[in-house]
Amino acid sequence: MEKQLDSAWSKLLNKLASWFDSLILNLPNMLIALLVFVLAYWFSRHLKSLANKYLKKLIKQPSIRDLVTTVLSVIIIILGTFLALSILNLDGTLKSLLAGAGVAGLAISLALQGTLSNTFSGIFIAIKDEMNIGDWVETNGFSGRVTEIGLRNTKIKEADNNIVVVPNKLILDQPFKNYGLTKRIRTTITCGVGYESDLKNVKKISVKAIKELFPPSTEESIEFYFTDFGDSSIDFLLRFWVDAQENLTALEVKSEAVMKIKEVFDNNNINIPFPIRTIINKN
């Protein structure tokens, strides 16, 4: 019994001695690996702050900008971890981690397919700068001002103050109109004058009134066309350019134009007729 205990104790001491010798031999590699990991962590922290400052010009939405910088930081830490493991000659462990990460990544991507699709769509919208907070847009049957572009959806405040939450994927998959992408838009109004009116004078007065109210640039022109012989009037169409970046502004501009046309027509005795039905009683 004593011999067995002495043999076991001897084997334990030999094992501990071999571990200690291995520790002494691998101590430089362990220190280098630890230094590599610490440097990777330090670099990831500083890279996150630097990338955040740089991406402010490229990505205006804070949530998406934070996501991109966090992903970059995590990638740096993962690369540092893999490099540290390779320095310690833990190739088997490294291969197992890579295989496990691949399987886990595939499972997560399949489980979160819809969420990831909306997330990447949000990042694409932010980077392409096709839609920004404050723009007036029309998309998926809704129109309003963009109040937030998040990782999964975009919030739009309609004219009646209701908030619409639209998934980012739907915005990219469907056509959308953004009034904020252009500084000048063309507005159209239609009206009609009586058959007794001097049409040349009507055109001259109308164009002059709009030109004074909304002066066109050198490359723009005010268009005036008589379009139809109506039941009670000769109808015309008037197109002009204005500074407008949202639908509400366009409506306000059209309202101002209608009031101006009505005012100059009244001052020049030009009649805007309304439908009249004449009933003849033969009896």
Are both 196 and 260 inside the same structural domain?
yes
Are both 86 and 151 inside the same structural domain?
no
116 lies in a domain?
no
277 lies in a domain?
no
Are both 165 and 225 inside the same structural domain?
no
240 lies in a domain?
yes
59 lies in a domain?
yes
Are both 19 and 106 inside the same structural domain?
yes
Are both 158 and 174 inside the same structural domain?
yes
208 lies in a domain?
yes
**pLDDT tens, residue by residue, 253-277:** 888 899 999 999 999 999 888 776 6
81 lies in a domain?
yes
CB-CB contact of 146 with 60 (8 Å): no
CATH code at position 192: 3.30.70.100
Q: Residue 92 — pLDDT band, cuts 50, 70, 90?
A: low
CATH code at position 146: 2.30.30.60
Spell out the long-range contacts of 207-211 with Cβ–Cβ below 8 A and sequence spacing 24 or more. 207/238, 208/264, 209/260, 209/261, 209/263, 209/264, 210/238, 210/240, 210/257, 210/260, 210/261
Q: Residue 226 — pLDDT band, cuts 50, 70, 90?
A: very high
**pLDDT tens, residue by residue, 26-78:** 556 667 777 777 787 788 777 777 777 777 666 666 666 676 777 777 788 77
Task: Give, to the nearest 10 degrees, the angle between helix 91-111 and helix 62-87.
Answer: 150
Domain range spanning residue 36? 13-111
Q: Total structural domains in the chain?
A: 3
Are both 140 and 189 inside the same structural domain?
no
Are both 173 and 194 inside the same structural domain?
no
Are both 217 and 188 inside the same structural domain?
yes
> Out of 67-71, 99-103, 133-137, 178-182, which region has the weakest mean confidence (pLDDT)?
99-103
275 lies in a domain?
no
Are both 107 and 27 inside the same structural domain?
yes
- Beta pairing partners, 187: 240
Q: What is the pLDDT of residue 160?
A: 84
Are both 145 and 107 inside the same structural domain?
no
CB-CB contact of 184 with 192 (8 Å): no
195 lies in a domain?
yes
Are both 34 and 107 inside the same structural domain?
yes
Q: Indicate yes or no: pTM above 0.75.
A: no
